Amino acid sequence: MKKILKSILLIVLPLLFSTTSQSQVLISLIFGNALNTPKIEFGLVGGLNRSYLLNYNGSTGLNNFNLGFYFHILLKNQSYISTGVLVKSNVGATGMPTYPVGDPDFDDVFKDGVLTTKISYFYVPIMFHQRLNDNRWYVEAGIQAGLRNKAKDIFDIETNGGDVSYTRSVKSDYHNLDFGLIGGAGYKFKKQIKSMSAGILYYYGLVDVNRADDINIKNSSIYFYLKIPIGAGNKQAKEDESVVD
């Protein structure tokens, strides 16, 4: 157990301070063998999510990419705890009207523009993960907490000279933490315990993430993901089968 915890820390700490997803992939590949045991599955997770800002009038969904790592921790038979960290993860929305920033020239240029808000979080899901009788389909549900990293508003306007865009940091406008409910279903590509899988999750934020008193904004997101176990070879797969038996 100490060896596992040490290996987890060696991955988590560099990732929390990393600014690139390439670092995450490299570290995960290095320590994947140490983290995969008969009762623990470790790997990379990534995909596309479409996010929304609930209660934000005029907003529409925003497409984002996300990347992280996951753990499936065996409880009993086909029941697991599913957790991990989404290190590269954006939420937000687009299609909103722009707002004045106090510069008359700027405000005049972008007064008829479109506003996009992107908020970056480190998300940590903690879900009960139940595999069904064929060991391929599974369902999972639980909670998800997020630590805000960055936030920005992007002003866009189409003019005769082409598209004009301006990005403004709004990190101070949003609370540090997000929290909500998450759940969904997935399918494993192989019947063995550790294999690639794909699925869908829905996140519904329960807390107001905006600091303004007159605005109540909650995050929500639909995730389409692919999970790839790292360090789980043929020998490991046989050990996994023995756990179920």
Q: Tens digit of pLDDT for each residue in 6-54?
A: 454 444 444 444 444 455 555 555 555 666 788 899 999 999 999 999 9
Main-chain dihedrals φ then ψ at residue 24, nearest 5 degrees: -60, -45
| Nearest-angstrom CA–CA distance, 60 and 174 | 19
Answer whether residue 176 shows pLDDT above 70. Answer: yes
Coil vs helix vs strand at 185: strand
Q: What is the pLDDT of residue 31?
A: 55
| Domain CATH number, residue 183 | 2.40.160.20
* Nearest alpha-carbon partner for 81 in 71, 90, 89: 71
Q: What is the mean pLDDT of residues 65-70?
A: 93
Main-chain dihedrals φ then ψ at residue 207, nearest 5 degrees: -115, 150
What domain count does the chain have? 1
Q: Tens digit of pLDDT for each residue in 112-164?
A: 999 999 999 999 999 999 999 888 999 999 999 999 999 999 999 987 767 88
Range of the domain at 48: 2-244
pTM of the complete model: 0.81
Q: What is the pLDDT of residue 48?
A: 95
Helix, strand, coil proportions of the chain in percent (round to 5)?
Answer: 20, 55, 25
Show Cβ contacts of residue 221 under 8 Å, excluding neighbours closer than 6 positions. 49, 50, 51, 52, 64, 91, 202, 203
